[in-house]
Structure 1
Amino acid sequence: MSEIPGLDGLLGVEHVETGPDKVVARFTIGDHHLQPFGIPHGGIYCSVHESTASVAGQIWLGTKGVVVGTNNSTDFLRQAKVGDTITVTATPIHRGRTQQLWRLESVNQDGKLIAQGQVRLANLDQEIPADALARFTGGQ
């Protein structure tokens, strides 16, 4: 578990780099990430992809609204194993007034692509709690 609240905390995700044009997160595959047949569950990648894209999209949008995921498409390319460190990088494909599209890549410690995907976000006209955004921007 990490200090991050919610599902990311349960999955042990840490944010290595956060900014409006790129967010990098990292986690290490443990027994709690496995599906019943002993291999990493694909939902891990889907979940971390969506949350990483959401952090990136919210930092970019700032206080102009709240982002929510509307689509998540993840392809699983290579199997990871317990002990592997997975680095997830989110970069923008499109950022507009009402929606955003982010590319996600998950690589292992050897730089091999494990999963890739895209997450579409909607920009909602709602106020974001200042402390939620400050968690990722250092209060800026």
Structure 2
Amino acid sequence: MDELLHNTLMEHLGMQVVEATPDKVVMTMPVDSRTHQPMGLLHGGASVALAESAASLGSLLNVNTDEKTAVGLEINANHIRSAREGIVTAVATPVHRGATTMVWDIRITNERNQLVCISRCTVAIIARKPTR
């Protein structure tokens, strides 16, 4: 999994894959200067990036990657609680696994297992284009 994150936004923000199966993806992200907004709180966009990353990875694990790939189509998020430091953990589970779209529920919690963000992400399943 580490090679998937190399030279990406996920690597830059310090995300790590803890668990990755077709039924569940768990990823972590530090709350630090890379993920803060100007007031020193976890940036909502960083939470959304974590949520979409987990949903996209889960979608990839549900398709034949020789023929298909997964790309984010729509995401929403409700930011429930702020965080200033530590690690947040995203747990993504599928709500719908179709041939052309997948929908994932993502819950992000802090180190005390308190809900920080809840998100739903729709992922498009598209044909993989040949690499040049």
TM-score normalised by length of structure 2:
0.90
Q: Say whether residues 1:68 and 2:71 are aligned partners.
A: yes
CA contact (8 A) 2:104 2:121 kept: yes
Query: Which ranges of structure 2 fall in alignment gaps of 5 or more residues?
Result: none
Structure 2 residue corresponding to 1:13, chosen from 7, 12, 15: 15
Distance 2:115 2:77 in 1: 12
Distance 2:99 2:87 in 1: 35
Structure 2 residue corresponding to 1:97, chosen from 99, 106, 128: 99
Task: Say which structure is richer in helix.
Answer: 1
| Aligned-partner SS, 2:63 | helix
Size of the aligned set, in residue pairs, is 127
Task: Say which structure is richer in strand.
Answer: 2
Query: Which ranges of structure 1 fall in alignment gaps of 5 or more residues?
Result: 130-140
CA contact (8 A) 1:20 1:57 kept: yes
Structure 1 residue corresponding to 2:125, chosen from 105, 123, 126: 123
What letter is aligned with 1:118?
R
CA contact (8 A) 1:66 1:128 kept: no
Distance 1:73 1:128 in 2: 31
| 1:61 Cα deviation after fit | 1.1
Distance 1:14 1:94 in 2: 24
Distance 1:89 1:125 in 2: 27
| 1:128 Cα deviation after fit | 7.8
What's the C-alpha RMSD, in Å, of the aligned pairs? 1.7
Q: Percent identity?
A: 30
TM-score normalised by length of structure 1:
0.85
Deviations 1:73-112 (A, max 9, x none): 0110000112x21110110000111110000000011110
Other-structure match for 2:42: 40
| Aligned-partner SS, 1:62 | coil
